[in-house]
């Protein structure tokens, strides 16, 4: 029996979530039953998302439909043999998917969507009443950037064309339909429609991949549009647009504020969205003289402000409406007989965005959710500088020495990066009340998610080494306080530095500039972080151990960003990501360490999100990317050309990423090819003369095996900082019976921070390239825990706690300076800021990972002195 609780708010319109299981506990074909905290059976749809090597369930996914009375908690039970198996209750209302009328007809039991004809949806109905039709994707395109000082620029209007429709799930409680196509002659897209039994809303996930020419293709608008049937009298038609807290409450023909009173009951009814009823004669006879407001626009141009305006018709002036700060990104257009709710999650965070209502005074209104607002300057993805003469590797390496930017002509290209947005369309049978609208907007912004407690996730043994927070001693409490400090710092910095925007939201900056009291947003490789040194892993492990909703939401946004924007999904670098830069795609270092499947697995398994599954499936044969580009081509001392029979693969950042991708393929799909390559290369590393200390192996693409004859020692400080310790710990815990692998990893863990004398005694010379001491203390801790070596455990804590140049700790624990924020204000800064100039994302992420690992493995050896 597993207890489930809501992460931060309930999912009234249905939800999907994941549950981990201990190895051997649940059979692959076991049914599941769900009950609420009152013991009532709740219909549940279940499927397996990952298995253990023995075939038992590692992760299961579950969905429930809309809930009239949402419980605070639920209990999930898998069936067991030979006892009577658990079985899901039959749903009173089911999702149905049928092929009818030349397309698909999907019904939740409340609303029905007709799909087909090359659009997102032909029609949306509630009961026998059509609410909306012709749901489509729209775009605007320019052949040149928007001029700085204005001026006419021709814009080409386009509509997305759906080219294929795939039913991924067909109920009974959850149905998923995937639509694929193009926005005209460019921008391939994938749209997923999520239907839950009994729900009136449908969740929409839209992903597009940029495939334009940055010199001549400028996206000036991108949106989702629907036509809304308007049946009611003008004064019984309503427009609602979310402001910073509540909603703009408007009628197409307003009856409030007039010189003559239509009646108090009429005014109240119109504001509340109910039929106006009988209108006082002195107003009823003059209705034709009251303007009908046909068009409305809410424009979120930045994270700090939105504007509102309306007009009576095209060709007449806009009238401004009092504006505000951050819109909830949700709206409604319709009337007392029904209408359409529409919105975009993270609306203000993903600016520039816009909500439009047009033709509300006619028989067919349109509602448009703009993912890129037409009011903003057109999207400009050209590289941010002219190269400054860096035409050779030698010159580019000189640039790396001064701005930390790895530039190369033609490599700062966005061709192939992607962005995913989450939208909703809700078919309402009447104008929602203010309270209902607020609930709809909250459900969009923070979708309900059921989750297991950290203790239950830990019992399942998933995701390697981590433990629960423990403040039982002053030393433990200090480290826990610092973990909280670091997370809270990034939450604060995202807000005060405005790390928001279409391409930026979800990422964090790499390094701070204390002289300017800002992050180095404009300095080469010090700007956007792009998963450098694994902040993704730190945040997800911190969520697992704490269960904090705010940590989950921060990690969720990072996963959405780093998996889409920082990675190429088509073109010559498909499957690779870009190293940190002023622009997310700006660095010429394209590597698997950024597209790393290890960074995606958490979110996928916790939510069963299909798009995140797509990202991992893009890495089905990750080893083939080494034919495209050599990750170390600029700093090689040997002569090397990629050879399919002998591909150069680093045993740290490269093999760790390969192993994560292969493991994900194996546990998700039972992929035997991935399994064989994973197990084979593990065995090969164990058989190499210098094992992990070799630093590099030569991979035969045909066999998937390493050459084990090369005898060399090469150690890099980065090898273990992109998920290698975490993936090795998982693989060893799986007990896969691979000879030599654990010994190879323990040797590396033990020797990396050993004294030069110990290193020389074992391998013949001291190891070079040793740095990032605090980060690597978790390797020493792992070796200590696996071997039971108390002295090694003490050495690990010493290396974690002592300042040795490139870490957050600077002095022995009892003398450490407090981690505190400093306030900077006055004319030196645009706005007052609170800063922690001693923190960079490299150090924060690695402190977090080392602290979590060390506490879990050797916490009992942490002394207070």
Domain final position from 45, 63, 78: 78
Per DSSP, the three-state class of 201 is strand
Per DSSP, the three-state class of 351 is coil
Q: What local confidence, expressed as pLDDT, does residue 805 receive?
A: 59
Q: Is the alpha carbon torsion for 713, 718, 721, 722 positive or negative?
A: negative
CA–CA distances in Å: residue 27 to residues 21, 24, 57, 79, 456:
10, 7, 6, 8, 18
The single residue listed with the structure tokens 């599941």 is: 32
C-alpha to C-alpha distance for 688 and 677, rounded to whole angstroms:
16
Domain final position from 20, 47, 78: 78
C-alpha to C-alpha distance for 709 and 687, rounded to whole angstroms:
9
pLDDT tens digit sequence for 267-277: 999 999 999 99
What integer is the mean pLDDT of 250-262? Answer: 97
Do the domain assignments include residue 404?
A: no
C-alpha to C-alpha distance for 695 and 651, rounded to whole angstroms:
5
CB-based contacts of 773: which residues, under 8 Å, 6+ apart? Answer: 753, 799, 802, 804, 805, 806, 807
C-alpha to C-alpha distance for 534 and 599, rounded to whole angstroms:
8
Q: What local confidence, expressed as pLDDT, does residue 151 receive?
A: 82
The three-state DSSP-derived secondary structure of 495-519 is HHCCCCCCCCCCCCECCEECCCCEE
Task: Extract the tokens encoding 383.
Answer: 């590289």
Do the domain assignments include residue 484?
A: yes
Number of other residues whose CB lies within 10 A of the CB of residue 612: 25
The percent helix, strand, coil of the chain (3-state, each to 5) is 30, 25, 45
564 pLDDT more than 90: yes
Q: What is the pTM assigned to this prediction? A: 0.97
Query: pLDDT category, 811, cuts 50, 70, 90?
Result: very low
809 pLDDT more than 70: no
814 pLDDT more than 60: no
The single residue listed with the structure tokens 């949306």 is: 124
CB contact burial 83-92 (16+ within 10 A = b; e otherwise)? eebbebeebe
CB-based contacts of 282: which residues, under 8 Å, 6+ apart? Answer: 260
Do the domain assignments include residue 625?
A: yes
Q: What local confidence, expressed as pLDDT, does residue 86 receive?
A: 64
Per DSSP, the three-state class of 654 is helix
Do the domain assignments include residue 331?
A: no
Distance separating the N- and C-terminal Cα atoms of the chain? 43
Per DSSP, the three-state class of 200 is coil
CB-based contacts of 314: which residues, under 8 Å, 6+ apart? Answer: 294, 295
812 pLDDT more than 50: no
C-alpha to C-alpha distance for 206 and 483, rounded to whole angstroms:
35
DSSP state of 566: T
C-alpha to C-alpha distance for 399 and 763, rounded to whole angstroms:
36
Query: pLDDT category, 82, cuts 50, 70, 90?
Result: very low
Task: Extract the tokens encoding 478.
Answer: 């200090």
Dihedral, 758, 764, 765, 770 alpha carbons, nearest 10: -60
| Percentage of the chain modeled with pLDDT above 90 | 93
CB 419 within 8 A of CB 346: no
Within 291-346, where are the H helices? none
DSSP state of 604: H
pLDDT tens digit sequence for 437-496: 999 999 999 999 999 999 999 999 999 999 999 999 999 999 999 999 999 999 999 999
Do the domain assignments include residue 677?
A: yes
CA–CA distances in Å: residue 165 to residues 101, 109, 192, 339:
15, 22, 10, 26
Higher pLDDT, 835 or 816: 835
Number of other residues whose CB lies within 10 A of the CB of residue 108: 29
Q: Which of 299-308, 763-772, 814-823 is the least confident region?
A: 814-823
Counts for the chain of helices (H) and strands (E), in that order: 19, 37
> What average pLDDT does the chain have?
95
C-alpha to C-alpha distance for 159 and 426, rounded to whole angstroms:
22
Per DSSP, the three-state class of 824 is strand
Do the domain assignments include residue 511?
A: yes
Task: Provide the residue range defining the domain that includes 15.
Answer: 2-78
Residue 602's Cβ-side half-sphere holds a number of Cα atoms within 13 Å equal to 29
Do the domain assignments include residue 611?
A: yes
pLDDT tens digit sequence for 728-775: 999 999 999 999 999 999 999 999 999 999 999 999 999 998 999 999
Do the domain assignments include residue 441?
A: no
Whichever domain contains 527, its CATH number is: 1.50.10
Q: What local confidence, expressed as pLDDT, does residue 90 receive?
A: 79
Task: Extract the tokens encoding 585.
Answer: 């795609």
Count of structural domains within the chain: 2
CB 784 within 8 A of CB 823: no
Asked if omega into 654 is within 30° of 0 (cis), the reply is no
Query: pLDDT category, 377, cuts 50, 70, 90?
Result: very high
CB 215 within 8 A of CB 382: yes
pLDDT tens digit sequence for 395-407: 999 999 999 999 9
Query: pLDDT category, 41, cuts 50, 70, 90?
Result: very high
Domain final position from 59, 78, 97: 78
């Amino acid at each position: 029996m597993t207890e489930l609780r809501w992460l931060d708010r309930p999912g009234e319109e249905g939800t999907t979530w994941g549950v981990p299981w201990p190895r051997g506990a649940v059979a692959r074909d076991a049914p599941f039953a769900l009950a609420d905290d009152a013991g009532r059976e709740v219909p549940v749809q279940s499927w397996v998302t990952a298995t253990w090597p023995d075939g038992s369930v590692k992760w299961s996914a579950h969905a429930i439909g809309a809930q009239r009375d949402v419980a605070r908690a639920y209990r999930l039970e898998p069936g067991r043999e030979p006892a009577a198996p658990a079985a899901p209750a039959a749903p009173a209302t089911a999702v149905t998917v049928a092929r009818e009328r030349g397309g698909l007809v999907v019904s939740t039991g409340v609303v029905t969507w007709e799909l087909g004809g090359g659009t997102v949806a032909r029609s949306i109905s509630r009961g026998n009443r059509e609410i909306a039709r012709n749901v489509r994707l729209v775009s605007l395109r320019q052949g040149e950037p928007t001029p700085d000082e204005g001026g006419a620029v021709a814009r080409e209007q386009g509509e997305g064309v759906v080219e294929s429709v795939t039913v991924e799930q067909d109920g009974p409680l959850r149905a998923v339909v995937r639509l694929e196509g193009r926005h005209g002659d460019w921008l391939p897209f994938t749209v997923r429609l999520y239907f839950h039994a009994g729900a009136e809303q449908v969740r929409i996930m839209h992903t597009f991949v940029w495939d334009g020419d940055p010199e001549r293709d400028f996206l000036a608008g991108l949106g989702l549009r629907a036509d809304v049937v308007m049946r009611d009298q003008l004064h019984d038609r309503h427009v609602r647009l979310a402001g910073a807290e509540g909603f703009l409450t408007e009628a197409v023909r307003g009856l409030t504020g007039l010189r003559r009173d239509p009646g108090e009951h009429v005014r109240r009814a119109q504001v509340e969205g109910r039929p106006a009823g009988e209108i006082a004669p002195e107003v009823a006879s003059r209705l034709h003289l009251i303007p009908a407001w046909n068009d409305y626009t809410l424009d979120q141009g930045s994270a700090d402000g939105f504007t509102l305006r309306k007009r009576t018709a095209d060709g007449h002036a806009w009238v401004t409406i009092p504006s505000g700060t951050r819109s909830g990104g949700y709206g409604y257009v319709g009337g007392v007989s029904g209408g359409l709710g529409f919105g975009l999650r993270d609306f203000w965070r993903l600016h520039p965005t816009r909500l439009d209502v047009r033709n509300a005074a006619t028989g067919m209104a349109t509602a448009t959710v703009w993912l890129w607002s037409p009011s903003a300057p057109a999207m400009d993805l050209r590289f941010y500088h002219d190269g400054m003469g860096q035409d050779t590797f030698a010159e580019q390496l000189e640039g790396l020495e001064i701005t930390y930017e790895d530039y190369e002509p033609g490599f700062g290209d966005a061709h192939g990066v992607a962005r995913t947005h989450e939208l909703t369309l809700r078919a309402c049978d009447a104008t929602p009340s203010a309270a209902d609208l607020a609930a709809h907007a909250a459900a969009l912004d923070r979708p309900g998610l059921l989750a297991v407690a950290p203790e239950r996730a830990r019992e399942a043994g998933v995701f390697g080494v981590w433990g629960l927070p423990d403040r039982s001693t002053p030393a433990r409490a200090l480290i826990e306080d610092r973990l909280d400090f670091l997370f809270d710092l990034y939450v604060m910095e995202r807000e005060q530095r405005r790390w928001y925007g279409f391409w930026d939201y979800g990422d964090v900056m790499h390094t701070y500039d204390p002289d300017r009291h800002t992050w180095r947003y404009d300095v080469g490789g010090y700007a956007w972080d792009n998963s450098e040194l694994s902040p993704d892993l730190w945040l997800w492990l911190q969520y697992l151990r704490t269960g904090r909703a705010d940590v989950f939401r921060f990690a969720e946004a990072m996963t959405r960003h780093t998996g889409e924007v920082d990675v190429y999904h088509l073109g010559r670098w498909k499957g690779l990501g870009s190293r940190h830069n002023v622009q997310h795609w700006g660095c010429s270092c394209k590597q698997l360490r950024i597209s790393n499947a290890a960074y995606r697995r958490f979110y996928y398994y916790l939510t069963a999100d299909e798009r995140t599954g797509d990202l991992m499936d893009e890495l089905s044969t990750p080893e083939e990317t080494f034919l495209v580009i050599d990750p170390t081509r600029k700093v090689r001392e040997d002569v090397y050309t990629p050879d399919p029979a002998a591909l150069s693969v680093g045993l740290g950042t490269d093999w760790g990423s390969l192993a994560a991708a292969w493991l994900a393929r194996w546990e998700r799909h039972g992929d035997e090819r991935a399994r064989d390559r994973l197990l084979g290369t593990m065995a090969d590393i164990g058989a190499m003369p210098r094992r992990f200390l070799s630093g590099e192996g030569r991979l035969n693409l045909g066999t998937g095996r390493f050459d084990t004859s090369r005898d060399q020692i090469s150690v890099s400080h980065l090898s273990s900082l992109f998920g290698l310790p975490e993936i090795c710990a998982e693989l060893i815990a799986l007990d896969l019976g691979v000879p030599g692998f654990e010994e190879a990893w323990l040797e590396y863990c033990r020797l990396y921070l050993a004294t030069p004398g110990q290193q020389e005694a074992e391998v013949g010379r001291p190891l070079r390239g040793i740095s990032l001491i605090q980060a690597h203390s978790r390797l020493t801790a792992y070796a200590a825990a696996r071997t039971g070596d108390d002295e090694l455990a003490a050495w690990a804590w010493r290396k974690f706690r002592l300042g040795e140049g490139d870490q957050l700790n600077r002095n022995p624990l009892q003398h450490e300076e407090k981690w505190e924020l400093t306030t900077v204000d006055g004319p030196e800064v645009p706005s007052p800021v609170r800063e922690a100039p001693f923190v960079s994302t490299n150090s924060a992420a690695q402190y977090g990972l080392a602290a979590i690992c060390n506490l879990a493995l050797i916490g009992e050896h942490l002394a207070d002195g």
